[in-house]
Amino acid sequence: MNQNAFRNARIVLPDSIVEGSLSFDDGMIAGISDGPANTGLDLEGDYLIAGLVELHTDHLENHYRPRPGVFWDPLASLHAHDVQIAGSGITTVFDAVRIGSDADVKDMAPHIAALTGAIASARKDGWLRAEHFVHLRCELPSHDVLEHFEAYATHPETRLASMMDHTPGQRQFQSLDAYKQFYQAGRTPAELESFITDRLDDHARYSGAHRAHIVRRAHELGLALASHDDASLAHVQEGIADGVAIAEFPTTLEAAAAAHDAGLAILMGAPNVVRGKSHSGNVSATDLVRAGLLDILSSDYVPFAMLQAAFVLPQRVAGLTLPQALAMVTSNPAKAAGLTDRGELAVGKRADLVRVAMVGGLPVVRGVWRQGSRVS
């Protein structure tokens, strides 16, 4: 049997679905044909889709810090994360690594070193299933975020930086009540008020200058830039002036529309789609799809949510096709990150492939190949 080919597959192309076969050679797609074929692995009518491209996941950090104050072995954390990522159909992943210390972790430096070091070591040793890059989540109000940025912006795997500001009363936490609910655990009411005051002071002291520095240096280094949690027209205009390419998790319809009009790639969390709403009470990702304002879906904190959301959306949004929905987790994020060699099933693209069966309405991953080699 030709192990470099698949037959009897529902092949999801950029604008259609064909029943046929696909072959690959030297890690690249060599041919796609409709109709029956006599050679190749029989996919028994399952879908064959491009490997998913994930631009923003906190999942590695969740494995590394499974409980407050508990830090796991970084290589073991990466291994567990990688297994779940690949098993969810993701063949390219940008692991979000927070930079900038805060009240929860007063010295992030050793943890940043541990995670980025694990990624570099694992890539060198060749045991990762997915291809991993680093996404620096820059917490602007942090006193040492610039120190961390300068240390890791030139890391070999760093390709993307996003500018975060979780100050109470703005962006993700426009509602102080929502902020208090999120951060009240383990704090008395007086301690929570003091915590909020300190965060406001940090924002006033650091955010503006840190943002300007990171924007300038990212452009000098050729790093893609993303804004985060834009809530207003002013936020979007600031991002446009800074030359950002991606608007991550806009919190309002107004901000999403302004970002779209400016040509930014709009990214939202796939869990928002699966749940039907934002966990923070912000705009619904599905509503943005209906309005034609969503380009990219990210797993955020649940790796499988990307694939699940892509198959759910055509059932919820009239006129949306499966190829269009899958583009939000394949070709669109690949283009936004400058990865022109992957993200779609086409001759000459990387043979990053996922076999998907529908079981009781759930897309089940039955096989994953990266550059033609099976990884899950």
pLDDT digits (tens, 9 = 90+) for 251-307: 999 999 999 999 999 999 999 999 986 766 688 999 999 999 999 999 999 999 999
Q: Which residues pair with 23 in a beta bridge?
A: 5, 31
How many CB atoms lie under 10 A from the CB of residue 321?
15
202 pLDDT higher than 90 = no
Cβ(368)–Cβ(128) below 8 Å: no
Measured CA to CA, the distance from residue 143 to residue 146 in angstroms comes to: 8
> Has residue 110 been placed in a domain?
yes
Specify the higher pLDDT residue, 171 or 164: 164
Q: How confident is the model at residue 1 (pLDDT cuts 50, 70, 90)?
A: very low
Residue 267, CA atoms < 13 Å, CB-side half-sphere = 28
Average pLDDT over residues 231-258: 95
Structural domain count of the chain: 1
Instruction: Confirm whether 144 is domain-assigned.
Output: yes
In a domain, 40, yes or no: no
Q: d(Cα 213, Cα 44) in Å, to the nearest integer?
A: 54
- Strand order across the 158-164 sheet: 52-57, 90-99, 131-139, 158-164, 224-228, 246-248, 265-269, 296-298
Strand pairing class (47-50; 131-139): unpaired
Taken in order 179, 180, 186, 190, is the CA torsion positive or negative? positive
Q: How confident is the model at residue 91 (pLDDT cuts 50, 70, 90)?
A: very high
> Is 42 part of a structural domain of the chain?
no
Predicted local confidence at residue 2, as pLDDT = 46
Residue 119 CA to residue 79 CA, distance in Å, equals 10
Spatial separation of the C-alpha atoms in residues 246 and 88, rounded to whole Å? 24
> Is 136 inside any structural domain?
yes
Instruction: Note the pLDDT tens digit of each residue in 16-56.
Output: 999 999 999 999 999 999 999 988 999 999 999 999 999 99
Residue 309 belongs to domain spanning? 51-343
90 within some domain: yes
Q: What is the mean pLDDT of the chain?
A: 92
Which pLDDT band, with edges at 50, 70 and 90, does 203 fall under?
Answer: confident
Regarding beta strands 41-42 and 47-50, do their DSSP bridges make them parallel or antiparallel, or are they unpaired? unpaired
Burial state string for 154-176 with b = 16 or more CB within 10 A and e = fewer than 16: ebebbbbbbbbbbbbebbbbbee
* CA 194 to mean position of chain CA atoms: 33
Question: From CA 149, how far away is CA 97, in angstroms rounded?
Answer: 11
CA distance 47 to 58: 28
Q: Looking at the domain assignment, is residue 195 inside a domain?
A: yes
Residue 272, φ and ψ in degrees, nearest 5: -60, -40
Distance (Å) of CA 285 to CA 170, 228, 272, 288, 331: 19, 15, 6, 5, 19
Tens of pLDDT, residues 56-73: 999 999 999 999 889 999
pLDDT, residue 374, reads: 96
Measured CA to CA, the distance from residue 102 to residue 120 in angstroms comes to 25
User: What's the CATH code of the domain at 90?
Assistant: 3.20.20.140
Does residue 41 belong to any structural domain of this protein? no
